[in-house]
Amino acid sequence: MLTSLALACAAPTLGWAEAHTFEMNIEDTKITLVGKQDFHTFAFNGQVPGPLIHVKEGDEVTVNVNNLTTLPHTIHWHGLLQRGTWQMDGVPDVTQPAIKPGDTFTYTFTAEPSGTMWYHCHVNVNEHVTMRGMWGPFIIDPKEPTPIEKEVTKDFILMLSDWASAWAFKPGYGGVPGDVFDFFTINGKAYPDSQPLRVSRGDVVRLRLIGAGDLAHAIHIHGHVFEVAFKDGRPLPAPYEADTIVVHPGERYDLILRADNPGRWMVHDHVDTHTLNGDKPMGGMMTVIEYTEISAKDDFYAWKDKQFAPDFYYEESLKKPHGMYDAAVFQGQAIE
Binding site for Cu ion (CB under 5 A): 73, 78, 121, 123, 128
Rounded Cα–Cα distance for residues 45 and 26 (Å): 6
Question: Roughly how many angstroms between the first and final C-alpha of the chain, as a whole number?
Answer: 31
Question: Which lies closer to Cu ion via its Cβ, residue 128 or residue 206?
Answer: 128
Could you tell me which of 157, 92, 165 has the C-alpha nearest to residue 131?
165
Rounded Cα–Cα distance for residues 334 and 115 (Å): 32
Question: Which lies closer to Cu ion via its Cβ, residue 26 or residue 33?
Answer: 26
In this structure, are strands 286-291 and 197-199 parallel, antiparallel, or unpaired? parallel
Tell me how far CA of residue 142 lies from CA of 59, 172, 234, 253, 324, in angstroms: 11, 38, 10, 16, 17
**Least distance between Cu ion and beta carbon 300 (Å):** 17
Tell me how far CA of residue 163 lies from CA of 30, 160, 182, 201, 297, in angstroms: 14, 10, 6, 35, 32
Rounded Cα–Cα distance for residues 116 and 78 (Å): 10
For residue 201, the cross-strand partners are none
**Least distance between Cu ion and beta carbon 258 (Å):** 20
Question: Which lies closer to Cu ion via its Cβ, residue 151 or residue 272?
Answer: 272
Residue 100 near residue 70 (C-beta atoms within 8 A): no
Tell me how far CA of residue 4 lies from CA of 20, 59, 284, 293, 319, in angstroms: 9, 12, 41, 39, 16
**Least distance between Cu ion and beta carbon 267 (Å):** 9
Q: Of how many residues is the chain composed?
A: 336
Question: Which lies closer to Cu ion via its Cβ, residue 46 or residue 239?
Answer: 46
Helix (H) or strand (E) holding 9: helix 5-10
Rounded Cα–Cα distance for residues 285 and 210 (Å): 13
Question: Which lies closer to Cu ion via its Cβ, residue 8 or residue 117?
Answer: 117
Question: Which lies closer to Cu ion via its Cβ, residue 204 or residue 275?
Answer: 275
Question: Which lies closer to Cu ion via its Cβ, residue 40 or residue 78?
Answer: 78
Question: Which lies closer to Cu ion via its Cβ, residue 222 or residue 258?
Answer: 222
**Least distance between Cu ion and beta carbon 5 (Å):** 29
